[in-house]
Every structure is written in structure tokens, then in C-alpha cells.
Amino acid sequence: MHVDDAIQSRKSVRRFLPTPVSRTTIQHILELAARAPSGNNVQAWNVHVVTGRTLQTLGQAMLEEARDNPQNCVPEYGYYPDQWVEPYLGRRRQCGFGLYEVLGIERGDTERRQQQMLRNFTFFDAPVGIFITTDRRLNTGSFMDMGMFLQNLMLAARGQGLHTCPQAAFADLQHVVRLHLDLADEEILVCGVSLGVEDIEAPENALRMPREPVEAFARFYG
């Protein structure tokens, strides 16, 4: 696959088929992800891969915590601002409303919106969940390295005919993840990724999020 095709065909998939992904394939994707550059080559990423019964148990535990105790769901780092400003606010709304629209969820239907949000925690039915952590003793720059690792992972998945959904939602459930997986105290849960085969029949997977044209974000000098 040409790199352009891998980039163009990557999208956030929010309904997967139960088709399993082999350990060899996961290993291959992680090897490619780890070719990501990082400042001073510190490679400060760790991953925790969950499948099978662990995924089921942890997924259910996260879903219940997010549903029943949202006040306990606090991430260890700030991904989003407390106060949204334009143009980000509008794009964020477009993202949410776009998803509800393809799913036929009315804007005022808070119950179905909540049900959809909770699907994050069961990995949108994917057979593989990957948690990405970094080391809190480093600095904010390491989050750039995490982003590069994450993007490599998602593109490498495309190379295997697989799809992904990157999910910061898991950061809110770090306290539950710690109960089930072996995270060191210095590990900070950055995000998770659902990995598997796309359900091409699912309306939510037809969503193609727009991007601003180059002229909107680039200036050329000289």
C-alpha cells in the first residue's frame, strides 16, 4: 500500500467485526509503530494489549464505571481545554453531531448519545484493545512522541487491512485500567486504540470527517 493510501484510508472506525487479529499481526504493527521518531530517541511509549477475556472483563468494568461513577473518571493529563474557543468549538460540535446524524440519533436524545459514548469502553466491539502509556517523569514533549507512535500504529494497521479508533476516552478510566493491568506508578495512560476489521455495513463507519484546505492553515513565505 502506498503511504498516501494508508493515510487517506485511515479513519476512526466505531464498529468492528469480531474477526480475530493474530498475535503475529499485532506484533508486526507494534514493531512498525516503534519506528516512530522521538526526541533523543527516548522511545518513552509502553503499550498494554488486551484481547479475549481480559478485554471483555476490563471493557465491562470501564463501561460500568463511566456509566455509574462519572465523577470518578478523571484523566491524569489535560487533553482538552476547560474553555473551548472558535474555531475549535465548531469543529468539535461538527464531529459529535456528524456521528449522531449518521446514527440517526436526535440531538436531544441524551440517552442514545450516552449509549454511543459508552461504546468507547467496549472498544467498539474490536477484538483488540491497545493502551498507550508514557512516563510522567518526562515532559510534555513526550506527548508528541506518543502521537507519532500512535499514527504509525494506525497506518501500520492499514497495511494489514485493519482499522483503528484512537480513543482519549480511556484516559478518564485510568484508575480502572490500573486495577486490571500491570501499569507502573510512573506510567500515565495517554490513550487507547481499538484495532480490528471494520464492519463496512455500519453507518458510523461511513463518516468521513472533513479537513480544512491547506490555504486555511498554511502560509508560505519567500
Ligand X SMILES: Cc1cc2nc3c(=O)[nH]c(=O)nc-3n(C[C@H](O)[C@H](O)[C@H](O)COP(=O)(O)O)c2cc1C
Buried b (16+ CB within 10 A) or exposed e, 153-185: bbbbbbebebbbbbbebbbbbbebbeebbebee
Stretch in the footprint of ligand X (CB under 6 A) among 9-17, 41-49, 59-67, 128-136: 9-17
Judged by CB under 6 A, the chain residues 97 through 136 that form the site for ligand X are: 120
Q: Is residue 125 exposed (0-12), middle (13-18) or buried (19+ Cβ within 10 Å)?
A: middle
Q: Give the residue among 128, 123, 112, 117 at the shortest CA–CA distance from 73.
A: 117
Contacts of 113 (CB under 8 A, 6+ apart): 100, 105
Q: Which is nearer to ligand X, 22 or 74 (CB)?
A: 74
194 binds ligand X per the rule CB under 6 A: no
CB-nearer residue toward ligand X: 26 or 190: 190
Q: Which range, of 10-18, 20-28, 40-48, 82-90, touches ligand X by CB under 6 A?
A: 10-18
Task: Choose one: 22-30, 38-46, 59-67, 164-172; the region binding ligand X (CB under 6 A).
Answer: 164-172
Q: Which of 133, 152, 167, 174 binds ligand X (CB under 6 A)?
A: 167
- Say if residues 188 and 133 touch (Cβ distance below 8 Å): yes
The answer to whether 199 and 16 are in contact (CB under 8 A) is yes
Closer residue to ligand X, CB minimum distance, 147 or 159:
147
Other CB atoms within 10 Å distance of the CB of residue 57: 12
Rounded least distance, CB 166 to ligand X, Å: 4
Nearest to 116 by CA among 79, 67, 155: 67
Q: Give the residue, chosen from 168, 178, 180, 183, that forms a contact with ligand X under the rule CB under 6 A.
A: 168
Q: Which residue is nearest to ligand X (CB)?
A: 169
Which of residues 21, 169, 176, 189 is near ligand X by CB under 6 A? Answer: 169
CB 13 within 8 A of CB 163: yes
Is the separation of the CB atoms in 174 and 58 below 8 Å? no
- Of the pair 22, 60, the CB lying nearest ligand X is at 60
Binding segment toward ligand X, per CB under 6 A, in 29-37, 52-60, 129-137, 161-169: 161-169
Task: List interacting residues with ligand X (CB under 6 A).
Answer: 11-12, 14, 95, 120, 165-169, 191, 209
